């Protein structure tokens, strides 16, 4: 396979023991994890506002939420069962002594002395998918360029791509489009909030001209963004080779009440976050999450970028006359 991209993942760290902070920080850095540390009493609200996590690290004696840490884990697991929870214990690096009802909540236990043994488990639960560097780099280039084209006079900030286990939907608007090739089958998804997107439309920073604009108008903005990126992705990464005709499909399930979407797979998803910024400061930043869910098929060893055909020298926007 081509060179793999070095991805990161955000993890919620619930720890109020100052003595071990350095150890946890070092472990996170070594394993490409970005710790998110809430203030005391804010764990659940931080969890609510971060819908793109890879795992949770919980101290068994954590008092941050004012109660029993294991009960806290039960509560977290009930609302975010996709997130692996790693329990840090004082002396035992196993879960055998915990009652069954609690044991099932945790992926593994560790002590500070044995924290490095979590490495393979982190790799398996969060970084089980290897993504070619060329793919990740290409996605970022295509998406940034498209956003700069579809929004007028903006700057687009990109962040390092990361792996996510969460299945929650950010914002009120999401688009979904299939991706099918010999090396991947699944979906590309965009998620964003309606209000900041509407603000860009109302301020004339898109190609939507209806005044006043409504939610259907902003649908068109994200629809075309999705379409352009999908097209560029196909042109760059998907060849004309036929895909196996025996194509499986699985239902996608959306629960609007819980803002939850399932693709039927427990595998982690590739996530990229973009922020559309107004350099004049008149319109609030617009955050857009892009996710790749290869729930049907994933064969990165077959991935390759399409060669630019020498007889296909027309750049986008130019007219090729027949």
Query: How far apart are CB 150 and another protein at their closest, in Å?
Result: 7
Question: Left, alpha or beta for 136 (phi > 0: left; psi -120 to 50: alpha)?
Answer: alpha
The H or E element that residue 109 is part of is strand 108-110
Tokens at 223, concatenated: 């629809």
* Nearer Cβ to another protein (239/262): 239
Q: Report d(CA 187, CA 167) in Å as an integer.
A: 14
* Nearer Cβ to another protein (126/188): 188
Query: How far apart are CB 216 and another protein at their closest, in Å?
Result: 8
* Nearer Cβ to another protein (280/314): 314
* Nearer Cβ to another protein (25/220): 220
* Nearer Cβ to another protein (120/317): 317
**Residues contacting residue 238 through CB under 8 Å, at least 6 positions apart:** 179, 180, 181, 306
Query: How far apart are CB 311 and another protein at their closest, in Å?
Result: 9
Q: Write phi, then psi, for 302 (nearest 5 degrees).
A: -95, 0
Query: How far apart are CB 31 and another protein at their closest, in Å?
Result: 38
Q: Report d(CA 246, CA 79) in Å as an integer.
A: 36
Instruction: Report how far apart, in Å, the C-alpha atoms of 248 and of each of 187, 244, 267 are.
Output: 14, 10, 17
Query: How far apart are CB 241 and another protein at their closest, in Å?
Result: 11
* Nearer Cβ to another protein (68/145): 145
Q: Which residues pair with 168 in a beta bridge?
A: 260
Determine if the peptide bond prior to 212 is cis (ω within 30°).
Answer: yes
Query: How far apart are CB 182 and another protein at their closest, in Å?
Result: 15
- List of residues contacting another protein (CB under 8 A): 146, 149-150, 206-210, 217, 220-221, 223-224, 227-228, 230-232, 234-235, 240, 309, 312, 314-322
Residue whose C-alpha is closest to residue 179's, from 213, 208, 142: 142
Query: How far apart are CB 179 and another protein at their closest, in Å?
Result: 13
- Residues 148, 150, 154, 159: what is their CA dihedral angle, to the nearest 10 degrees? -50
Q: Report d(CA 271, CA 131) in Å as an integer.
A: 12
* Nearer Cβ to another protein (65/217): 217
Query: How far apart are CB 52 and another protein at their closest, in Å?
Result: 27
* Nearer Cβ to another protein (184/228): 228
Q: Report d(CA 253, CA 242) in Å as an integer.
A: 28
Measured in Å, how far apart are the chain's first and last C-alpha atoms?
Answer: 39
Query: How far apart are CB 140 and another protein at their closest, in Å?
Result: 18
* Nearer Cβ to another protein (130/219): 219
Q: Which residues pair with 290 in a beta bridge?
A: 190, 272
Tokens at 293, concatenated: 């869910």
């Amino acid at each position: 396979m081509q060179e793999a991209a070095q991805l990161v993942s955000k993890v919620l760290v619930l720890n109020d023991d100052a003595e071990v902070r350095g150890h946890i920080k070092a472990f996170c850095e070594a394993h490409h994890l970005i710790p998110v540390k809430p203030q005391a009493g804010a764990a659940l609200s931080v969890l609510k506002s971060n819908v793109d996590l890879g795992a949770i690290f919980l101290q068994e004696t954590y008092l941050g939420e004012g109660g029993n840490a294991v009960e806290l884990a039960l509560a977290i697991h009930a609302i975010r069962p996709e997130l692996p929870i790693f329990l840090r214990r004082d002396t035992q690096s196993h879960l055998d002594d915990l009652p069954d009802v609690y044991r099932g909540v945790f992926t593994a236990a560790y002590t500070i002395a044995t924290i490095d043994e979590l490495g393979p488990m982190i790799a398996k639960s969060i970084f089980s998918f290897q993504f070619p560097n060329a793919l990740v780099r290409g996605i970022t280039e295509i998406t940034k360029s498209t956003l700069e084209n579809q929004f007028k006079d903006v700057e687009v900030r990109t962040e390092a791509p990361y792996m996510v286990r969460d299945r929650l939907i950010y914002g009120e608007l999401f688009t979904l489009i299939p991706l099918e090739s010999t090396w991947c089958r699944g979906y590309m998804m965009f998620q964003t909030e309606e209000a900041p997107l509407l603000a860009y439309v109302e301020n004339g920073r898109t190609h939507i001209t209806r005044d006043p604009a409504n939610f259907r108008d902003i649908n068109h903005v994200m629809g075309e963004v999705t379409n352009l990126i999908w097209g560029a992705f196909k042109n760059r990464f998907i060849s004309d080779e036929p895909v196996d005709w025996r194509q499986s499909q699985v239902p996608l399930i959306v629960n609007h009440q819980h803002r939850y979407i399932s693709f039927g797979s427990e595998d982690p998803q590739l996530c990229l976050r973009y922020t559309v910024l107004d350099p004049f400061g008149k319109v609030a930043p617009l955050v857009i999450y892009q996710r790749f869910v290869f729930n049907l098929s994933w064969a990165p060893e077959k991935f390759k970028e399409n060669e630019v055909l020498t007889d296909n020298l027309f750049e986008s926007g130019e007219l090729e006359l027949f």
